[in-house]
A and B are shown apart, each in its own frame.
Chain A
Amino acid sequence: MPDSSGRHDMPEIPGFVETATLIAPRPEEGPKDHTMVLNMGPQHPSTHGVLRVVLEIDGETVVKLVPDIGYLHTGIEKTCEAKFYQQVVPLTDRIDYLCPMTNNLCYVLAIEKLLQLEIPDRAQWMRVLLNELTRLNSHLIWLGTHAMDIGALTVFLYTFREREDILRIFEQVSGQRMMTSYFRVGGLALDPPLGFFETAQSFIRILPEKIDEYENLLTGNPIFINRLKNVGTLSAADAIAFGVTGPPLRASGVDWDLRRDMPYSSYEKFQFEVPISHDGDVWARYIVRLQEMRESVKICQQALDGMPSGPIKADAPHIVLPDREKMKTQMEALIYHFKIVTEGFQVPAGEVYQAVESPRGEMGYYVVSDGTAKPWRVHMRNPSFATLQALETMCVGRLIADVVAVIGSIDIVLGEIDR
């Protein structure tokens, strides 16, 4: 804040939130109060990033749990307001670094809705294909790390082998392994390169047997079953009350999947099942996600089989960057390119909320435009952020080791919680 002399004081380096302010000691209970407060994280291998959890424990049993977040807050929402619409796309990758394409898709769909832009079929199908590969990628990481948290180290090596294949496909199509930024407002950045569909097809062909392989290692494993069954139970009513979405919601018995119920990007043209379970425990989430992987493989196969030909960009020269070739031969294309790069494109005033089904649940982008080339406000509704609120309900009364299992089962990504 500026002081009286007009100079800005340097803010002091912020300290750690005192554990006692999150869980207050109760000295009035005297010797009856035999609980202790344990700090878990932010640097803890099983909190999947920088989640800090303050636990009040009675022996090994959790009495109270308070999540403390914000360690990865980078102010992406604020940064978006200072960028042109197309410059926001690379920022969206960095929110949830395990499903970059889903973030790209959600953002560009929101802007396309604001612009009322029609996207060619090929671009839409490519988006579906890459989104399902992203889901597989994210679920593979979840499976590997979740099993590793439980103590089954082998699966991690297996899933990361397949993940590497997906990352190679991403690299082929976008030039980047993780921060793809491949979708553009109005379509795709480039047509997929030669050999892309063959690589994707051979990966999709082998994946089902790989999933069988993981199941062989885990599904019948008595230690794994004992660690997961009847742990972290969440009822359907609680799940809805706490805003839980995605696989944890479906594992609690709520049949809700945005891909089927509020379809976007031509998902209505694909046939797939939405796996649900009524147990609501960590095991149910494991089963639901594994089945989701098999369904994703089906969607990928349908997308590869029926991939339409045609343009990959909408016919909107004032919004979509022209092809490189056209720029060398056509004056108009060069002018449009110059104008889009230097001034951005203007978006009519209005507001939209676009939600997609990310691997973790409902991801929503709320974009408000004031009619200029920069967004007035971009807000991301991220699934992990809401799901984290249900953590206490799932963990109270269980052991500390179960907290690790539950955190693994809700598959949080701190990048999207803190943004």
Chain B
Amino acid sequence: MLRYTLTRLASLAISLLVASAVIFLVVEVAPGDPAAYMLGLNAQPDTVAALRAELGLDVSRPERYLDWLGGMLTGDFGVSYTYRTPVAQMIADRLWVSLPLALYALTLSTCIAFPAGLLAASRRGKAADIGVTAATQLGVAVPNFWFAMLLVLLFAINLGWFSAGGFPGWDDPLAALKALTLPAIALALPQAAILTRVMRSSLLDTLGEDYIRTARAKGLSRGQVLWRHALRNALIPVLTIIGLQFSFLLAGAIIIEQVFFLPGLGRLIFQAISQRDLIVVESVVMLLVFAVITVNFAVDLAYAAADPRLRTRR
């Protein structure tokens, strides 16, 4: 297990390094000089040069890349071109909206998918199974931002149970959770549909195994077999998908935040794009990619811990 962890750790480091280089290069080829953009059309050349020096744009590209990389390792993401505030601070503020939203949605999606998948698998071919399968078919076809708009129409505009958007801050945790509820439901629905399908097919696979037949033959009831033997073994692929969904939810939150006017990472990145605040774009993208790669790494490790056969295979 140690050897496996070390190899995976090395490959994690390489992936992060390559990803950071790709992001830096893509942003570097962007036409336009941020300093000239900030100062406008009438800026004097020496003012632009002074600002370039201040922003650290006057050194060579490799140096700037190393600066950026070294800065990120120590939590210093640089200074926003537009707001002149530390990027790390801006991201941390926004993360307080996006991260709880993603976790909330993940919890909801799991709470929906587990019972639904279990129900469908245990009633295979019956009305309940057909109903759940049809619902998942619809769930994966509905764009989450449109579903979000329908939720607003029903629960905010017609019924008035929730506000249509905005975020009151975490001073009042209940109000904050309430503001995140509709966005979390919208975000969770398609993921719950996918998770339900995985849960159902994984359970059905497990229920077809020989040891399940043995357990039934020795006299256990269907329910006992399901709860004691099948569920635990069926959970491994389900947990993998839950891990993967977290990063999808974090990225998906970018769009949902637009529907509900939430001040999260999504709003930050779109503002930064329109203001050509490239250092913010660079850093938020790197953060999202970092989340995806690290979560995948954690899932791989958890998988290997649960199933020793995977440690020797690549």
Partners in one complex: no
